[in-house]
Amino acid sequence: MNVTAYGQTDIGLIRKTNEDAFVIADLTGGKLVKEQTVVRFKVGEHGVLLAVSDGMGGARAGEVASALVIESMRRSMTLPPSTEPNNAIVEQAAEKANREVWSAARQPGRKGMGATLTALHIQGTAVHIAEVGDSRAYVLRGGTLVQVTHDQSYVQHLVDSGALTPEEAGTSPLRNVILQAMGLKPEVSVALGRLELRQHDCFLLCSDGLSNSVSAEEMRQVMLTATHMDGACATLIELAKQRGGDDNITVLIGGVTGDLPLLVTGETIAESLQILQEPPLAVLAAPVVPA
């Protein structure tokens, strides 16, 4: 199986610094993408990591937190193969990254820094999904785009409880408030999912700088009509900037090909998606933090 991927991040039109970060890493061969380059990896024993992190904390602290999150994830998951299940591997890597940010936040000038995390670990014929915060992951399959993460945000909590409609949540002034972040506490509760892959699945990961400005339908249309991944990312970022660009914007697109099952007519994405773990309500009822 092969993974082709491209990521792009933009400061936007308002912010003075870019606190977003992303990683595309071949965990077997050790190749790490640091520049805007379309890459193609053969999925080896360790798999491939795709991740996005959105930092917070003011000054340069948010930038430090997001960079530390993705570097810690990559480093942890490049270690020799574990006998642990794949979901445990990505969960333990996220927990370790959280502890590293928590420790780094004790340094002067970094109090309160944190970051979101949305990570995909592609290995075998499945992808494991880890999430803390409100950066998102979507899968495009058979022309249908579905969000495979669930925002750990205040407005999503209000939508889930019936207090807001999804349309109201999209314009709420509280939409940047999240209920959990990496590094704010010594322990974190990681949401985990597992998706069985199908031939030509395509993933989109993004920070809320995109998802707060561009609808899922617009993302779908761009992904279906763009001739290349880099063009799709650039178009989505430009669209978010045309609508104000008031936040950093990060988009990462990755697709899989090779020895994978074909999509069966009538099969839905929900049928191949398994939610393995969700943060307990007690965690999501904790004091909120600004993203």
CATH at residue 179:
3.60.40.10
- From the number of C-beta atoms within 10 Å of its C-beta (0-12, 13-18, 19+), residue 245 rates as buried
Please list the pLDDT of the chain residue by residue as tens digits (291 residues).
Answer: 999 999 999 999 999 999 999 999 999 988 888 778 899 999 998 999 999 999 997 656 899 999 999 999 999 998 766 666 778 899 999 999 999 999 999 888 788 899 999 999 999 999 999 999 999 999 999 999 999 999 998 888 888 888 888 888 888 888 888 999 999 999 999 999 999 999 999 999 999 999 999 999 999 999 999 999 999 999 999 999 999 999 999 999 999 999 999 999 999 999 999 999 998 876 666 555 666
If we measure between CA atoms, which residue out of 244, 288, 263, 36 comes closest to residue 141? 263
- Following CA atoms 57, 62, 68, 74 in sequence, which dihedral angle do they give, to the nearest 10 degrees? 120
How many helices (H) and strands (E) are present in the chain, helices listed first? 9, 16
pTM: 0.94
Distance CA 95, CA 72 (A): 10
DSSP conformational letter for 159? H
- Number of domains the chain contains: 1
Please name the residues in contact with 74: beta carbons below 8 A apart, sequence gap of 6 or more. 23, 25, 27, 32, 49, 51
Please tell me the total number of residues recorded for the chain in this structure: 291
Q: For residue 282, what pLDDT is reported?
A: 61
What is the bridge-based pairing of β-strands 273-277 and 144-147? Answer: unpaired
Q: Which domain holds residue 261?
A: 2-290
Angle at 252 between CA 93 and CA 221, to 5 degrees: 140
Q: For residue 11, what pLDDT is reported?
A: 97
The CA–CA distances, whole Å, from 59 to 18, 184, 197 equal 10, 17, 40
What's at 273, amino acid-wise? L
If we measure between CA atoms, which residue out of 143, 124, 274 comes closest to residue 200? 143
Q: For residue 290, what pLDDT is reported?
A: 66
Please name the residues in contact with 95: beta carbons below 8 A apart, sequence gap of 6 or more. 187, 188, 190
Please name the residues in contact with 261: beta carbons below 8 A apart, sequence gap of 6 or more. 125, 196, 197, 198, 199
Distance CA 157, CA 172 (A): 13
Please name the residues in contact with 27: beta carbons below 8 A apart, sequence gap of 6 or more. 44, 46, 47, 48, 49, 74, 77, 78
Q: For residue 6, what pLDDT is reported?
A: 97
